[in-house]
Structure 1
Amino acid sequence: MKARMNQPAMVLPGTMDALLALGKTLEGTGLPARTVHLVHLRASQINGCSYCVEMHAREALDEGDTIERVVAVGAWRESRRFTDAERAALALTEEVTRIADRPDAVSDEVWDTVADHYDEQQLAALTMQIAMINLWNRLNATVRQPAGVAPRD
């Protein structure tokens, strides 16, 4: 499989730098890196972005997560491998990623649960992380960026 075109963020001058800079602002917020990897992986699975699924699974493993947890992300509700806070973050990830699937984009139940586990700064970072991975997924899925190769530049 070959990508349809160069990665859009690499085509438009300054776009990649801007997106990477935005990503840098999300560091040091107190949101656990382990949670970020799970969120990125789950959204990428939902969006069918093979490039990001592979990348975020690898990152999670490289940073010490277990193969059992990485494999279980797609069925996190049935797995006992995740903390309550991680479950809340994964539930929020699913609702934000599937924002058009219900009249209330994010249910009060999911929001209240996630807010029980994260402070305002962490909630802001979590929401931004979900939005950012959805942006990357949409860019890669649109151009059919295949897994196993670097984006064309």
Structure 2
Amino acid sequence: MQPRINLMANEIATRFGKRFAAAGQVVEQSLPKNLQELVALRTSQINGCAFCVDMHTKEAAHAGESATRLNLVAAWREATVFTEAERAALALAEEATRLADGHHGVSDETWAQAREHYDEDRIAALVCLVALVNAANRLNVSVRNPAGSYEPGMLAAMQDSLQH
């Protein structure tokens, strides 16, 4: 499978990518890496973005996340391996991703659960992370970026190259 377009070789997409990468750095500095990867993985699973599922699974494993937890992200509600704080973040990610599935977006109940575990800055970072991952999913699904060849650290290298 070949992508429809190489976004890294397109001038407009590269200019956009620089700004997108800068926004991502704000989130990266605001949340623990394992939480970022769990939330990004679940969001990408919902959106069917194989490229991002591959990337976030491998980045999480590289950062020390266990195979058990990674394998259970899609079924987190029935799994005992996630903390209450992680469950709140995953619920927030799901509801913020599935906007078309519900008339309320993120429910007051889910928001209140997240607020029990995260201060205002971390909630803001979670909301921004979910928005960024949803945008990345849409980019990759639209151009049909294939999955399977991602290696840990490739995203960071790509972000570095965009900034120079």
* TM-score, normalisation: structure 2: 0.86
Shift of the 9–95 alpha-carbon distance from structure 1 to 2, 3 Å rule, reads farther
Aligned residue for 1:23? 24
**CA–CA separation in structure 1 for the residues paired with 2:9 and 2:86:** 30
Task: Kindly provide the CA deviation profile for residues 34-84 of structure 1, in whole angstroms up to 9, marking residues without a partner as x.
Answer: 111000000000000000001000010000110000010010001000000
SS of 2:133 mapped into structure 1: helix
Aligned residue for 2:66? 66
Kept in 2, the 8 Å contact 1:95–1:105? The answer is yes
Kept in 2, the 8 Å contact 1:51–1:140? The answer is yes
Shift of the 32–11 alpha-carbon distance from structure 1 to 2, 3 Å rule, reads same
Shift of 1:8: 7.4
Letter matched to residue 89 of structure 2: A
User: What pairs with 1:2-151 in structure 2 (closer than 5 Å)?
Assistant: 2-7=2-7, 10-12=10-12, 13-29=14-30, 31-149=31-149
SS of 1:65 mapped into structure 2: coil
Letter matched to residue 58 of structure 1: K
SS of 1:90 mapped into structure 2: helix
Shift of the 110–83 alpha-carbon distance from structure 1 to 2, 3 Å rule, reads same
Kept in 2, the 8 Å contact 1:8–1:139? The answer is no
Shift of 1:129: 0.4
**CA–CA separation in structure 2 for the residues paired with 1:56 and 1:100:** 24
Kept in 2, the 8 Å contact 1:3–1:143? The answer is yes
Query: Sequence identity of aligned pairs in percent?
Result: 48
Gaps of 5+ in 1: none
Letter matched to residue 99 of structure 2: I
Identify the structure with the greater helix proportion: 2
